[in-house]
């Protein structure tokens, strides 16, 4: 590369790192406990117990009866979601004051589908909820999510530019070299490069999945206004279905499973919410393998009649969104993978911290010296 090209890449790396630095450090620090959110919740919930019985996604008591019990516990409210477990008989029913209720107004109720026992509201963990909201949108809603999405894209650009600048050093120095006999600044640079290249693939995955997650709301809106609207075009212009006219959930589930045999339901979006239309139960089925269990296919069932309207795979970007959420927090491989995620998060914090120190303690003419060093490294390894 020419000196000019190196300077451009160096400036790209510098500013794409510095601008999102504070956000990235916050995301790493809050992300660490969120990796173990299931384990933390299980350890802190009072009276937590294991429940025997088939998974609620497979069988159990009729859904209509459990829904009636939930609405009896929340008089005056309407059903919003029903979520199934693939591991135990726990069924989650979400209610709210209106079909388009905000998240803060929703109530999540737990039921044992094998016995019909009501387990009360989902336990609240104020600390974990605080960390999750800070990590997701910084308490700013969609605006905060979009800001973090842009910061994630900046992080990806910083990683790519860092690889471009590090390539000459990989040819001149042995991999993993930390020049102990040099100045503190050189040792810090070598540590920055070493930890960065070791965790590179993981950081790219986290940066890309984090950016995708940040644009979740626009992607969902695009699917609802596009593909979902096309699937339910016959209902366009009709007023939303009154909750008093909602038909049988069990009948709707039977219609959906006939159209998508062999798949397991993950959740149901009731009419009027972001994941459905004003007239349909949107029953989302997951894949039947560990790799495809987060690839969802919605079946739209007329909530009044119980007849299937349509079933179609979601667009690629929405499927990427479904895949990215568990991948971002290491939810694919149980506790061992979560530990790996935590170690790599600590490595990322070190990369960010050493990069910040390199910039903070820079001396006059630092950019010119670094450009010249990288340029000469390339010359030393170029073929004769």
Q: What is the pLDDT of residue 305?
A: 95
Q: How far apart are CA 253 and CA 274, in angstroms?
A: 20
Residues 177 and 198 in one domain: yes
Tell me the torsion sign for CA atoms 312, 317, 320, 325. negative
Strand order in the sheet with 297-302: 118-121, 107-112, 90-96, 78-84, 264-269, 280-286, 297-302, 308-311
Residues 104 and 246 in one domain: yes
Residues 145 and 293 in one domain: no
**Cα–Cα distances in angstroms (integers) from residue 84 to residues 55, 225, 256, 277, in the given order:** 8, 26, 15, 21
Considering only the C-alpha atoms of the chain, give the largest distance between any 2 of them, rounded to a whole number of Å. Answer: 82
Q: Find the helix or strand (DSSP H, E) in which 97 lies.
A: none
Query: Is residue 168 located within the same domain as residue 86?
Result: no
- The Cα 203–Cα 192 span in angstroms is 14
Is residue 170 one of the residues assigned to a domain? Answer: yes
Establish if 136 belongs to a structural domain.
Answer: no
The model's pLDDT over 182-216, given as tens digits with 9 standing for 90+, comes to 777 778 888 888 888 889 999 999 999 999 999 88
The predicted structure's pLDDT at residue 382 = 43
What was the pLDDT predicted at 327? 80
Query: pTM for the complete prediction?
Result: 0.79
Same domain, 178 and 277: no
Is 78 a domain residue?
yes
Domain end among 283, 304, 328: 328
Q: What is the DSSP letter of 362?
A: -
Specify if 304 maps to a domain: yes
Q: How far apart are CA 325 and CA 310, in angstroms?
A: 26
User: Which 3-state string (H, E, C) describes 239-297?
Assistant: CCCCHHHCCCHHHHHHHHHHHCCCCEEEEEECCCCCCCCCCEEEEEEECCCCCCCCCCE
Predicted local confidence at residue 363, as pLDDT: 66
Q: Is residue 134 part of a domain?
A: no
* Averaged pLDDT, groups of 10, the chain, 384 residues long: 83 92 95 88 60 89 96 96 93 95 92 93 83 92 93 95 81 72 80 88 93 88 88 90 95 95 92 92 84 81 95 85 81 82 94 89 68 64 40
Q: Are residues 223 and 313 in the same domain?
A: yes
Q: Same domain, yes or no, for 118 and 146?
A: no
Q: Give the torsion sign (CA, 235, 240, 244, 249).
A: positive
* Residue 61: predicted pLDDT: 96
Number of domains into which the chain is organized: 2
Co-location of 191 and 174 in the same domain: yes
Task: Compute CA distances 28 → 42, 146, 184, 230, whole Å.
Answer: 22, 18, 26, 40
* Domain residue limits at 245: 54-126+215-328
Residue 232's H or E segment, with its range, is none
* Within-domain flag for 323: yes
* Same domain, yes or no: 12 and 156: yes
Of 328, 351, 372, the one marking the end of a domain is 328
H/E run at residue 212 = helix 200-214
DSSP state of 233: G
Stated as kind and residue range, the H or E segment containing 116 is: none
Residues 230 and 308 in one domain: yes
Residue 378 has a pLDDT of 59
Q: Is 100 helix (H, G, I), strand (E, B) or coil?
A: coil
Assess whether 363 and 223 both reside in one domain.
no
Last residue of a domain, one of 287, 309, 328: 328
Residue 109 lies in a domain: yes
Which residues are registered as beta bridge partners of 302? 280
45 falls within a domain:
no
Residues 219, 357 share a domain: no
């Amino acid at each position: 590369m020419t000196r000019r090209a190196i300077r451009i890449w160096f400036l790209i790396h510098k500013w794409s790192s510095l601008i999102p630095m504070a956000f990235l450090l916050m995301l790493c620090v809050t992300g660490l406990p969120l990796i173990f959110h299931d384990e933390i919740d299980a350890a802190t919930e009072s009276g937590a117990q294991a429940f025997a019985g088939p998974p609620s996604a497979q069988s159990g008591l009729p859904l209509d009866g459990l829904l009636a019990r939930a609405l009896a516990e929340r008089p005056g409210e309407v059903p919003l979601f029903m979520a199934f477990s693939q591991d135990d008989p726990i069924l989650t029913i979400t209610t709210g004051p209106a079909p388009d209720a905000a998240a803060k107004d929703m109530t999540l109720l737990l039921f044992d589908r094998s016995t019909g026992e009501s387990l009360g509201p989902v336990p609240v963990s104020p600390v974990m909820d605080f960390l999750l909201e800070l990590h997701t949108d910084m308490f700013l809603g969609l605006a905060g999510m979009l800001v973090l999405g842009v910061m994630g894209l900046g992080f990806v650009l910083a990683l790519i530019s860092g690889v471009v600048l590090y390539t000459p050093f990989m040819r001149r120095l042995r991999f993993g070299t930390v020049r102990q006999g040099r100045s503190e600044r050189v040792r810090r640079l070598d540590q920055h490069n070493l930890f960065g290249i070791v965790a590179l693939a993981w950081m790219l995955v986290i940066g890309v999945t984090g950016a995708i997650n940040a644009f979740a709301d626009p992607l969902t809106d695009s699917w609802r206004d596009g593909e979902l609207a096309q699937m339910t075009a016959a209902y366009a212009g009709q007023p939303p279905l009154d909750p008093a006219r909602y038909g049988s959930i069990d009948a709707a589930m039977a219609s959906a499973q006939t159209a998508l045999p062999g798949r397991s339901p993950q959740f149901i979006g009731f009419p009027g919410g972001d994941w459905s239309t004003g007239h349909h139960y949107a029953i989302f089925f997951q894949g039947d393998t560990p790799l495809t269990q987060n690839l969802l296919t919605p079946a739209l069932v007329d909530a009044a009649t119980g007849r299937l309207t349509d079933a179609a795979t979601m667009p690629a970007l929405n499927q990427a969104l479904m895949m990215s959420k568990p991948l971002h927090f290491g939810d694919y491989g149980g506790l061992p993978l979560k530990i790996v995620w935590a170690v790599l998060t600590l490595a990322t914090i070190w990369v960010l911290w050493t990069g910040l120190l390199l910039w903070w303690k820079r001396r006059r003419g630092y950019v010119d010296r670094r450009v010249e060093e990288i340029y000469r490294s390339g010359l030393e390894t170029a073929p004769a």
